[in-house]
Every structure is written in C-alpha cells, then in structure tokens.
C-alpha cells in the first residue's frame, strides 16, 4: 500500500471514528486530504489517568482518581514530522517526475503515518471505553468507601461492647 493512500485512510478513519467536523461537500470524494488533516490536527481526546495511591503516616492506603485531561490527537512532534513528509514524500505532485528519495525520508513517512494511526486507534478506543472505565472506577471507589464504613462500624461496635 502506498504511504499517501494509507495516510488518507487514517485521516478518514479518524474523522469518522472521532466524529470530527470537516468541510461539507455534496460529493464526499471532493473532501481533500488537507481538509481532513486540518480537522485531525485540531482534535483532542479525553485521557483518563490511572488511579493514584498514597500511604499516610498510619499506613492506610488512600486512592483517588485524577481528573481526565484533554490530550491532542496529534502531538506537536508528530505534526511536524508529518508536515515535513507532506512536502516531500506524501505530496502527490512530487510523484509526477522521477526523483530519488533518500530511503530514510520514506521510512520516516511510513513511521509517522503508523504513529498517527496508533494515536487515532487509542483515541477512538478511549472514546468508546470512557463511560465503561469511569463506571468501573466509580464502583471501585464506592467499594473502597463501603469497606472503610464497615471497618468504622466494627470499631464502633467493639467500643460499645467494651464500654
């Protein structure tokens, strides 16, 4: 598969899977790769960090869920790498004449598109898993709180029995 074709497929998948707004065209074939790329560059996704833990001086473990944060779909480094490959390897006009391309330039383009594809996959997975993950986190936190309340009740019960 040609790198440019793969790049365009990844862009279309990102815009569809993440429901990114793009310029409307009556004929979808008229939506350009640059319009898709612009939408993908603007996109963010909600990253849900893992639970954090800390032990206090009494040895009790405290857990909490950090707030989700917005992450760019395309990191600044990846954006710059793809911008470079767009002018050199992925530019359709560059294929109209025979040009010797350094192997490294082509490999960089392949790796940049693969990294973009992985970023899109991760963002789409997070979008679909987000509600389930949040529900599981909430249930875990409620379970911890219930355990703490039960422990407090037992301590109060022992105090009443002793007193």
- Which residues of 3-117 form beta strands (DSSP E)? 44-47, 52-55, 61-64, 69-72
Flag whether pLDDT at 157 surpasses 60: yes
Write out pLDDT tens, residues 56-96: 999 888 888 888 889 999 999 999 999 988 887 666 544 44
Which residues constitute the domain of residue 30?
3-162
Q: What is the pLDDT of residue 94?
A: 47
Flag whether pLDDT at 52 surpasses 80: yes
Q: What is the pLDDT of residue 130?
A: 63
Helix, strand, coil: what percent of the chain each, to 5? 65, 10, 25
Strands 44-47 and 69-72: antiparallel
pTM over 0.75: no
Which residue has tokens 């002793």?
162
**Which of 28, 48, 8 has the alpha carbon at shortest distance from 132?**
48
Domain count, the chain: 1
Q: What is the pLDDT of residue 95?
A: 47
Alpha-carbon distances, residue 31 vs 26, 85, 95, 103 (angstroms): 9, 20, 21, 31
Q: Are 104 and 88 in contact (CB under 8 A)?
A: no
Q: What is the pLDDT of residue 74?
A: 96
Q: Are 62 and 53 in contact (CB under 8 A)?
A: yes
Alpha-carbon distances, residue 112 vs 2, 91, 119 (angstroms): 14, 15, 11
Which residue has tokens 């911008």?
83
Write out pLDDT tens, residues 125-148: 888 776 666 677 677 778 878 878
Give 158's pLDDT tier (boundaries 50, 70, 90). Answer: confident
Flag whether pLDDT at 11 surpasses 80: yes
Q: What is the pLDDT of residue 125?
A: 86
d(CA 5, CA 41): 18
Flag whether pLDDT at 99 surpasses 60: no
The proportion of the chain whose per-residue pLDDT surpasses 70, expressed as a percent, equals 87
Count of other CB atoms within 10 angstroms of residue 90: 24
């Amino acid at each position: 598969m040609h790198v440019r074709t793969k790049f365009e497929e990844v862009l279309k998948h990102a815009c569809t899977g993440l429901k990114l707004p793009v310029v409307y065209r009556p004929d979808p074939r008229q939506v350009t790769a640059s319009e898709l790329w612009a939408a993908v560059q603007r996109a963010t996704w909600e990253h849900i960090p893992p639970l954090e833990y800390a032990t206090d001086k009494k040895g009790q473990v405290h857990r909490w869920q950090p707030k989700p944060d917005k992450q760019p779909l395309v990191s600044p480094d990846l954006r710059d790498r793809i911008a470079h490959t767009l002018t050199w390897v992925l530019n359709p006009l560059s294929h109209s004449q025979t040009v010797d391309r350094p192997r490294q330039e082509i490999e960089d383009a392949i790796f940049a598109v693969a990294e973009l594809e992985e970023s899109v996959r991760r963002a789409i997975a997070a979008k679909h898993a987000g509600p389930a993950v949040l529900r599981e986190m909430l249930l875990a936190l409620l379970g911890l709180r219930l355990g703490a309340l039960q422990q407090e009740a037992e301590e109060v019960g022992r105090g009443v029995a002793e007193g």
